[in-house]
Structure 1
Amino acid sequence: MSSESSQTFRTQGVIGEEDQPPHTQPDPGAEIARLKRRLAASQEEVKELTQGKTKKPPTIVTMGRAIRRLVSLYESLDDLLQAADDHATNENDEDDETELLTEEALEKQQESESRFAAFKILIQVLPSVGKAIEDPATDMDMYLTQLQKGANDARSDDVRRIKEEIALWLNLAYAPNPPLNTKCRSNRGMQNDITGRLLCPIEYDWDDELVRNGIRAGTINISEEYFLRCFYPYGIGDPDNVEKGFLRSGLLVKTYSNIFISPSSSDSFSDEDENGAARKQQRITNSQKKATKCNVANILGMDGRVTPRSIAYAAVLLAFNLTDAGYWMEVYNLFNFRALYALIVDFFESPCGPAAKRRSQNLLKWWSTQIFPHHNGATTNSRKSRNKLLAQRAAREESVPL
């Protein structure tokens, strides 16, 4: 995926660092001031959301930082509110002609349902948004603008950080010469043997020189192939069973952990096995436990559960940062990252049957175990011991003579 012939579609909202076109030449003084403001905003986010019960409520901008990560990577807030209005309007409409809908109409219907699902997640994640909507005194234009700013700022921060981390991970794993640049993506993409392999769909054999050259030249079109090697353990998948190993790669789990836990948490994962990423066996210190309480996932109220849209978010940021795109785009060299995001969301939220639903639920459980091992284990063990204690006490109560 080289930088030639790229197509750009911009996300609505405030432009962030990773949204800047590559020809922009920032003033050094302005750049330092911008970094200071970004640091102050991050410190404010942590301070506001980790203080005690007497803390002030988070700012609207701070609340907005959850939206791209948990609700929707691409939809504007206006579109989500419109989806809620449309759903309320059409809620009682009969849908007897569903089978007669064209493929295009069905696709639009699914997109509408996905936007409404995002709206429901928005209200669940940020209940204050629902209250603001119902309050006639709310200046909705100002309110939505600030939420959108927080949303896009968080995305920009994550894109920048994963851009740097991926270079460090791949340099350590493969020792390329020259090494990948942590500050830009210019030497990545399909022209780079390492990132090219990771971006190659499992349908194609990257080791075949003819295939590799065809992909690089554009004679082999992979723009609509979303089962990329970077999502599979060892970069190997089965084209006849694309679900096997899908979304279990160590690189994807490290990316997710970096975003939702902490940068250092990515080091908790060792080499992959056939089941996907593997967590290292290590003792957890008191300082690490304390830090875990303040991680992004806890701040966002994820309660030890990985969600479908957060996985899709991490997957897009991983794939995007393997390319040589100069700045944030929805479509790059005909590859549609928005469609990739939608595919992964639908993989979890719209399974085609009971068996598919069980597989997606099992994958979510696997993810939660990987990312929140201590949360899940502590909850399960506590419940098991509590039930055992209650059962034994009840038995003894019955055996005591009156």
Structure 2
Amino acid sequence: MNVEELVREALREQAADQRPTGPGFADRVLSARRRRRTRTFATVAATVAAVVAVAVGVPLLDSGKDDVRPAGVVQQGGIHAHPDQSPPRDLIAAGDAVLAAYYTADTVVKSDTRAVFERTYSLLDPDTGRYEKDTRWSYVAVAPGLKTAAVLERELPARRIGLLDLVTGEVERWIPVAHAVGGLAFSYDGGRLVATTYDENPDLRHKETASAVENGKTVERQMWASSMGSSRTGFSVIDLASAQASWTPVKAGRDISARQDFAFGRTGDTVYSQVIGGRDGLQQFYDLTGGKIDAPADERYLRSDVAARLSPNGRLAALGLTKEVAGSPGRSYSSIRDPRTGKEITKVRGGHLLAWVDDKRLIAWERVTSLEEEYRPQLVLVTIGSDKVVPLSGSREESLERQEWEPLFARR
């Protein structure tokens, strides 16, 4: 069987799949709350019943009927590219994948011995299709549906989580937490959050002396470095419809990184965290009681440092960079594998796979410079079975002093 046949076989029967709760579940619950405020007292009982129906029974049967998201962003499935913009000012999207936000980050000195790696987010306004800077938040996660974001205020770890309406820019609801939070991630269906809890800010930096060779001489420089080890204490799983939360203690892994955030597995009944050391991208799975478990069968060969992970139908796994080909510019290729066996099906253009557009296309970082030049990537659309790339953004400069704009993708 050749590569084309393998790809075709891996993609077959997509239409027969039964997927999890449709994207936008969190948005529909919050939208129902907004509408309820504007209706008269005579309709309150009927509205409450409708909300219960949405939260409990509707998502699996009709995930779009009650959707009030702006049609301009949600319903257009084509390609929105701005290869002249870096960082982007206007909507970047392809198929179901939308650049929902991006952030830059700088080391902000607080004292002679203390600094914080602070992010500054720009969020997509679904009404205008433009990215607007919002300096209020230290951490942002965007829900499927592109209408709601979970946010943490500037001081980490935070004692409450905000649910931000991306259309109005206002916090719709605050969820207090018993254990302070430093990181957030939505479940695949958007109905729950996993909040990683910490004793101290996971983005703290301390001064460190490093040696370097300049013009044949060894010189020492002071630099801000991440803390050795982590203050992570566990994770909370929060149901957005009820705001009920359950906290599970989990000790931090043996890791050189202070930030060790959790994320949900595909089905939402497991979480995983990245483990640095030994093999890059290793992931440790846990059940929701905090017990260590083997990775689910279809996530066993994934890497926690490759954001795209499983294809929408769950039959293809996005893996890391496999090779770079010399040229002007250099070409990068990443591996696409069978998620259950780990066997490579094919390779696809792109050095860092960020998000699945559909079951055959992805968004990736791709190098725009030759291997002899300084690395500089741009967002591109790549397709399995094709060497063609479609530029989506301008190229990003790289810097040792700060984090240049980092994209956050969400599904429509």
* Higher relative strand content: 2
* TM-score in terms of structure 1 length: 0.28
TM-score (normalised: structure 2): 0.27
Greater share of residues in helix: 1
Between structure 1 and structure 2, the one with the greater Rg is 1
